[in-house]
Structures are given as structure tokens and as C-alpha cells.
Amino acid sequence: MEKESLFYNLAIDEEAQELNWSKRVNIIKGTALVLTHMHHHCTPPIVHRDVTSTNVLLSSNLEACLSDFGTAKLLSSDSSNQTLLAGTPGYIAPEMAYNINVTTKCDVYGFGVVTLETIMGEHPKELISNVSKPSGPKIMLKDILDSRIQLPFLRKDMQDIVLVVTLALACLHPNPTSRPSMQNIANELLFSNSPLLWHFDGISIHQLVNQEIYAIGKT
């Protein structure tokens, strides 16, 4: 692809600075639509199993597509979906450490990691560790945003960032059945127009984890 991988564009400062907030949100939307098609519009459903920023490729106009289907698996309702562990550390759903049964929620977890990475400009390993602790530090949303670009000042960008980070955190739920489906995620990204009633600078990650700003469905 013309613009190479999302990982490349986030790793190189000059490229990252070209990715304003609306462009980053559109990349997230594009990735969600690809996964929605694979999970909900293919028969049988396809699980990618390695959703990472390296495998999200960008066209010249920053349209996102997924590459590397070497670990992909077709899901079947009448046979076992058990398999050997596959994927990239840091993006693999935690249940795969003890359960080798593949579901679409494995990809949902990876999508959540990639979404946070797109907004933060780096892998969210430390954030994921902190939000998993009930007594973890209070982290403000504005403090996790990629510092290489200006903080959002347009209301639309603020609303979009709150929505995508809320979705990403829901995708990282330790219980796979509590994660939203990719269809639900796509619907939220495409059709949600709830006004942002909170002051952006005062929004914490804790509020987004608890969905105090936006409530995300789990179907």
C-alpha cells in the first residue's frame, strides 16, 4: 500500500504529525468496517487473529485495509474452532493464554489495542496495565493523546476521541463475552451523534472505562 503500515506512520514523527485527529478516527473507522465485514458478512465468519498496527495498511488517501491473513481462521458452527496460539504479543486477547477456542472477540481485543495505539501514538501497554487495576492511578484522557499533534480544539474531534477511546476500552474487557461485537462498534462509529456534555480536559479514563460519557452496547 502507498502509505505503508499504520505502525510505520505512527513510528515516524514526520508521518505521525500529518495524521490529525480526524484522519486517525477515519483510519479506526476503516479498520472497524473491514473487521465487521469479515465477522458478520462472510460465510463462514473469518477471524484474522493478528490485528495489529503493522497489519493495518494505508492507501494514499489513508483508507485502511488488513494484511497478513496467514493466521486467519474460518469459524464453523459444526466443528471445533480450537487452534494453536497465534498472533503478536501485546495484541493477543488474554483468554488465549488458557483457552484455545477462537472467537471473533479475539479480533475485537486486538482492534481495541490498535485503536488506543492510533490515538496515543504508541502501544498502550502501560495504560492497559493501569486500567486493569481497580486502584490504579487517575489518568486523564488528554494526557494519553499523542503529544506530537495539537490537542483537539474542534468539538467534533473531541466527541470522536471520547467515543473511540470508550469503544477501545470496552474492547479490552477481560471477559470476551462482555466486549462489543465489531458490528456494534461500526454502528457506534458511523451513527453515534450524542453531544459531548463534559468538558474535554476534565474527562478521565476511569469515566470512559465505566462508560459514564457514552454507553456502548455489547451485542
Between strands 46-47 and 73-74, the pairing is antiparallel
For the chain, what is the total number of helices (H) and then of strands (E)?
9, 4
Closest CA to 33 of 69, 66, 75, 7: 66
Distances (CA, A) of 200 to 115, 116, 134: 19, 17, 23
For 79: left if phi > 0, alpha if psi spans -120 to 50, otherwise beta; the answer is beta
Spell out the residues 6+ positions from residue 23 whose beta carbon is closer than 8 angstroms to its own: 62
The single residue of 50, 107, 146, 157 carrying the catalytic annotation is 50
How far apart CA 210 and CA 188 sit, in angstroms, is: 17
How far apart CA 144 and CA 174 sit, in angstroms, is: 21
> Known catalytic residue: 13?
no
By annotation, the residues acting in catalysis are 50
